[in-house]
Amino acid sequence: MKNLYKIPLVLLSLNLLVCACKQETHIVEQALKPHVESGNLPGAISVLIDEKANKQDIACVGFANVDEKRQISMDQMFMQCSQTKGFCGVTIAMLVEEGKISLDEPVSKYLPEFKEMKVLVKDKEGKVQLVPAKNQITIRMVMNHTAGFPFEIPSKKVKGWPGLSLRDTSKEAASEPLLFEPGTKSQYSNTGIDIGAAVIEVVTKQPWDVFLKERVLLPLGMKNTTFNPTDEQLKNHISMYKISKGKTPEFTLFNNWMPLPHNGPTVFPSAGAGLWTTANDQLKFYKMLMNLGVGDNGVRILKEDTVKNLLATSTRPQSLGSYSLGLNVAGNGWFGHGGAWNTNCKVNWKNKQLQLWVVQLLNTKDGNWQKDYNKAVDDFFKGKAEKGEDKYVGRTK
C-alpha cells in the first residue's frame, strides 16, 4: 500500500484510551424505542460522537427485518447508495494530492469522448436546440455536480445504478446532450461522479473499485464494504421498507435503482451510488474524515490540508451552493453525505463531532419519529449540531 503514514504508537494508544473512557448516553434509544414498539419504525442505527466533550451515544433500535425478528446491529450490511460519492471524492483527492491530476484539467484529457459536447438550449420561441458547449468539462465540475449532466443516463434508468461499467457509463454520457453550459449551474448527478471514477481508472490503470479497496478500504480495516456482497452477507442485511402516512412500514424486496441480483457478473461498481457497507465500517471512513485524514487505526489516508481544503470546503463557484468532491459542505466544519434510503453521516472536523444515521427506508417524510430523533441529537450536542436535513438524502431523480 502506497503513501500510508503511520501515527506514532504512543498517540494511537492514547487515542484508544480516550475512546474507551467516553461517557455513554442513551438519548437516541429512549427517543426511538416507542416508535419501534408502536410499529412505526422498523429499525435504526444512530451513532453520535462528541470528542471534545468525551461522550458518545450509540443506539441499535428495532429490527433489520421485522418478520424475521432479526435485531438490527452495527455489523449488518446495507445499501449506502449516494454516500458512495464521498468515497470517490476521497480517491480523487488522493490523486490531486499526489500531483497525478488537477481539478481544473479537462476530463477529455483522460476520456477523449468528452472533447466536443453539445448543450440543450431553448430559443426565443421555446424550441429546443443543440449548440456546441463553450466550456470544457473539468474534473472539478464532474465531482461537484456543475458539469451539466442529468441525474442518470438512459441505460441506468432501465438497468439501475450497478447495471453498467464506469467506462460504458462515460461513453453513453458523452453521447448525450448536456442540460446546461458546464460550470454555470448545478444539477445533482450520479453520472458526473461515475465519470470522475472513470478518470481514476485511466490515471491509475486500475479498476476504480480495486484502487478504492487497496488505498482506502483495506488500510482503514473496512473489510465489509463492497460493491458485490456475498450471499452469506446478504442473508443478514438490513431490509428495506416503504413508509406511507398512517400505515405500518411495508417490506420491499428491492428498489429499481438497486435491482436484483445484488451480486455476480452483472453487477458493476457505481461511484455515484452502489456501495454496500456496515455501520462499523462506515464509522471508520467518517472518523478518518473527522480526524483530517487519519483513521482510528493510525493509518493516514490523506494529508490534513487536503481534507480541509478539498473535502470540507466547497469547490463550486459561490453562487452555486456548497459542495466539495462528492461531499455536501454545510459550513463551520460540517461535511458529509446522505443516501437514497435515508442513511446519512456528517462530521465536524473543528469540533470533532460525528452524526451517523442508518435506516433502509423510502419516503421517510411520512415517518413520525423524525422530530423526536432531531430533538435527541440537539440534546446530545447541546445545540451545536448543524441544523436542517441533508438535501442529498433521498435524491433519486
Asked if residue 294 lies in contact with residue 7, where contact means CB atoms within 8 angstroms, the answer is yes
| pLDDT at residue 371 in the model | 92
Identify the CA nearest to 339 among candidates 322, 371, 364.
364
| pLDDT at residue 2 in the model | 40
Classify residue 115 as exposed, middle or buried by CB count within 10 Å of its CB (0-12, 13-18, 19+): middle
Compute the radius of gyration of the chain from its Cα atoms: 21
The pTM for the full model equals 0.91
| pLDDT at residue 385 in the model | 44
The Cα–Cα gap between 90 and 220 comes to 13
DSSP string, 33-80: HHHHHTTS--EEEEEEEETTTTEEEEEEEEEEETTTTEEP-TTS-EE-
In the three-class reduction of DSSP (H, G, I as helix; E, B as strand; rest coil), residue 347 is classed as: strand
Beta-sheet pairing, 55-65 with 240-242: unpaired
The Cα–Cα gap between 224 and 305 comes to 29
Beta-sheet pairing, 23-25 with 240-242: unpaired
301 sits in which H/E element = none
| pLDDT at residue 9 in the model | 37
| pLDDT at residue 395 in the model | 52
| pLDDT at residue 366 in the model | 59
Beta bridge partners of 294: 300
Return the axis-axis angle of helices 84-97 and 190-204, rounded to nearest 10°.
Answer: 40
| pLDDT at residue 365 in the model | 67
Q: For the CA atoms of 93, 97, 98, 103, what is the dihedral angle to 10 degrees?
A: 60
Regions of the chain with pLDDT less than 70: 1-21, 365-367, 383-397
Asked if residue 106 lies in contact with residue 140, where contact means CB atoms within 8 angstroms, the answer is no
In the three-class reduction of DSSP (H, G, I as helix; E, B as strand; rest coil), residue 389 is classed as: coil
